[in-house]
Structure 1
C-alpha cells in the first residue's frame, strides 16, 4: 500500500467531509423556520438520520467488498450531496425526513469505509492512523460549526457551501487512485457470539449514541431557544466538539492503565459535574467551559467502549464487533433525540436530560467495574 495514498486520501477526504457535516448538523435545527417547517420536526429529523445510520451499519460491508474503498467513498459522499441538494429545493416535512434517512445511510457508509481503510494493514500503525482519524473527524467538525456565523443560517447559501465542501471531499480519492487497502473477508459473528460481548461495551456505545444524537440534533435549537445568538451558538458547539477532540490522547493513555468500565464511569461523572454547574450558573463563559467538559465526556465513551469490546477478540472478528458497536451507537442515536425532546419542554431542558443519562451510566459502570476487579490496573 502506498503510504501517501493509504493515509492521506482517507484522512483528507474525511477532514473536508467533517467540516461539511459539522456545519450541516448544526444548521438543520436552526433553518427549519426559514423554510416554514415546524420546529417540532427537528427531533424527528435527527432520529430519521440516525435510523438511516442504524440501517446503513448493516448494509455497507458487502458494497465496500464489491466496489472497493475508493469508489465506495466517492459514491457515499455523492449520495450525501444529493440529499443536501434536495432539501432546499423541496422543503416539505416528508422530503426532509426521507432525505435525512438517506443521509444517515450515506454517512454510515463513509464511516465504515474510512475506519476499515485505516485499520487494514500494519497493526503497529493502527493507533497512529486512528489518531489521525479522530483528530480529522473532530477537528473538521469543530471548524464546521463556524459556518453558522460565517455563511449564516438562512436561504440557499448554507446548502451551496456544504455542497461545495462535499464535492471537495471527493477530490482526494479521485486524484489519488493508488493506496486503497486490499479487500478482505472478515468472519461474521453469530447471535451467540454477539451476546458474549462485554455488556459495558454495548451500553457505552448505546449511551454515546443517545448523547451524540441529542447534542447534534437538539443542542443548537436548545441554545437558540435560550436566547443565545447564532455567533455564540457556533462557539458553544465548537467548544463541545473541541473538548471531544482534546480528550482523545488522554483517553488513549488512560485506557491501558485503568479499567475501561471505570474509565467510562469517570467520563460520565465529568458530564454529571458539567450539567450540575450549568443548572446553577448558565452565564456564557460558564456554559462555554462546561459544554467543553460535556464534549469531553460524550466523545470519550465510544472509543473506550469499542476498545473494551475488542480487547479479547480474535483479529478476524474485529470488523464484525465494530459493526455491532456501531449498531448499538446508532440505536441510541435514533432514540435519544426523541426522548430528549420531552425534556426540551421542561425548565432545565437538555441539561436535565444529560444529567439523568450521565448519572445512570456512571452508576452502572461503577457496578460493572467493581465486578471486574482484576481489570482495574493494567500489568
Structure 2
C-alpha cells in the first residue's frame, strides 16, 4: 500500500467514479456467477469452490500489489487491474468449463486485490485523520451502495444467457474511463514498509480474529447465499432484493460503527455485533416477509461491521510507520477466512437451514472467543490493580 508525498492533494473524482462503476459490476457478478451455473451446464457444487478460489486470489494478491502501483502509478494500475478482471469475465463466457472458471476466478481475485489497494491508498492520502475518515466514509458508501444496486440487476436482467455478463463487461469497461479521461489529480507515491511476520506480535489478537471471521462470514454470504435464497428459501424472483438488503445493511451500519468505535471498547463492540448477527439469522428461518427483510438487513449490518472495527483495533497505539503493514496483515487475515468460509459452509448443505446455522455458529464462536480474551485480560490486570 502506498502513501502520498507531503502537500499532495490527490483528486477524488477518478477513484470514486471508477469504484462506483466497479461496485455495480461486482455486485451483479457476485450473485450472477452461482446463479448462472446451471445455464452453462456446470454443477452447483462448483459454487463454494469458485468463491474460495476468488478469495485465494485476493489473498495471494494483497501483499504483491504495492510494488506495481509504485512502478506505474495509480491511474495506470487501476486501468490494468480493471482490464484483467474484465478479461477474466470474457473468458468465462467464451469457455464455460470447470477448470477455466476456477482459473478465471483466481485471476479475478488477484485483480480485485489490486483495485482495492489502488483505491484505498488513493483515497487515504490526506493530511489529517478527519480528512481520512471522510474519504473512508465516501469509499465505503460508493463500494456498498454500488454493490447493493448491482445486486438488484439479478431481478431485472436475470441470470441466464450472455446478456448479464455483457452488462458486467460493459460496466467494467466504463469504470476505466475516468482514469483514462482525467489526467490530473493522480497522487505521487512512495514505497512503504512490506509485511513482516514479526509485525504479528504487535497486533491485537482480537483484531486478527475479527478480520478472519469477517472473511468466514462474507465469503459464504457472497458465494453461497444467493443459491440458498433462490433454491432453499424459494425466493428465486427476490434473490437480488434480499442480497441488496444485506449490502444496504452493511452500508447503513458504517456511520454507527464510526460513532461507537471511539466510545466503546472495540472487543465489546464486536461481541455485541456478533450476538445481534446470530439473532438475526433466526429471522431467516421463518416465513414473515417483514421478518426476512429485517433479518437480511441486520445480517449485513453485523457481518460488515466486524472488519472496520477490527482494522481500527489493530491500528490503535501503533506508530504510523506500522499502519500500512498492519492493514495489509488484516486484509490477509480476511482473505484467509474468505477462502475457508465457502468450503466450510458447504459442509452444512445436508442440514436443514445449513447456511444460516453455519453463519450463526461463526458469530457465536467469535463472541465466545472475544469474551474469553477480555476475561483473561481482566484477570491479568487484577494483581496490578490490587498492588
> Aligning the two structures, in what range does the TM-score lie when normalised by the shorter sequence?
over 0.9
Structure-1 separation of matches of 2:142 and 2:59: 23
1:99 maps to which of 96, 100, 104: 104
Structure-2 separation of matches of 1:45 and 1:183: 34
Structure-2 separation of matches of 1:176 and 1:2: 17
1:303 alignment partner in structure 2: 308
1:163 alignment partner in structure 2: 169
1:17 alignment partner in structure 2: 22
Q: Which residues in structure 2 correspond to 1:178-189 (within 5 Å)?
A: 178-189=184-195
Structure-2 separation of matches of 1:8 and 1:256: 29
Matched, 1:53 2:53: no
Change (3 A) 1:2 1:190: closer
2:41 alignment partner in structure 1: 36
2:356 alignment partner in structure 1: 351
Structure-1 separation of matches of 2:196 and 2:101: 36
1:196 alignment partner in structure 2: 202
Structure-1 separation of matches of 2:258 and 2:172: 30
Structure-2 separation of matches of 1:371 and 1:165: 50
1:219 alignment partner in structure 2: 225
Alpha-carbon deviation of 1:313?
1.2
Q: TM-score, normalised by structure 1?
A: 0.95
2:242 alignment partner in structure 1: 236
Matched, 1:290 2:295: yes
Aligned-partner SS, 2:189: coil
Q: TM-score, normalised by structure 2?
A: 0.93
- List gaps (5 residues or longer) in structure 1: 375-379
2:157 alignment partner in structure 1: 151
Alpha-carbon deviation of 1:371?
4.6
1:369 alignment partner in structure 2: 374
Q: Which residues in structure 2 correspond to 1:109-148 (within 5 Å)?
A: 109-123=114-128, 124-148=130-154
Structure 1 segments (4+ residues) deviating >3 Å: 369-374
Matched, 1:250 2:261: no
Instruction: Give me the CA root mean square deviation.
Output: 1.5
- List gaps (5 residues or longer) in structure 2: 1-6, 380-387
Alpha-carbon deviation of 1:189?
4.3
Contact 1:222/1:344 (8 A) holds in 2:
no
Contact 1:186/1:317 (8 A) holds in 2:
no
Structure-2 separation of matches of 1:355 and 1:223: 16
Contact 1:148/1:230 (8 A) holds in 2:
no
Alpha-carbon deviation of 1:349?
1.5
1:207 alignment partner in structure 2: 213
Contact 1:188/1:317 (8 A) holds in 2:
no
Matched, 1:268 2:274: yes
Alpha-carbon deviation of 1:367?
2.6
Matched, 1:82 2:87: yes
Alpha-carbon deviation of 1:9?
1.0
Aligned-partner SS, 1:28: helix
Structure-2 separation of matches of 1:227 and 1:300: 25
Structure-2 separation of matches of 1:289 and 1:216: 18
Matched, 1:175 2:181: yes
2:77 maps to which of 61, 72, 77: 72
Change (3 A) 1:174 1:372: farther
Contact 1:22/1:142 (8 A) holds in 2:
yes
Deviations 1:239-291 (A, max 9, x none): 10000000000000000000111111011011111112333x24333111101
Deviations 1:164-211 (A, max 9, x none): 100111111111111122212222343222222100000000000111
Alpha-carbon deviation of 1:373?
5.8
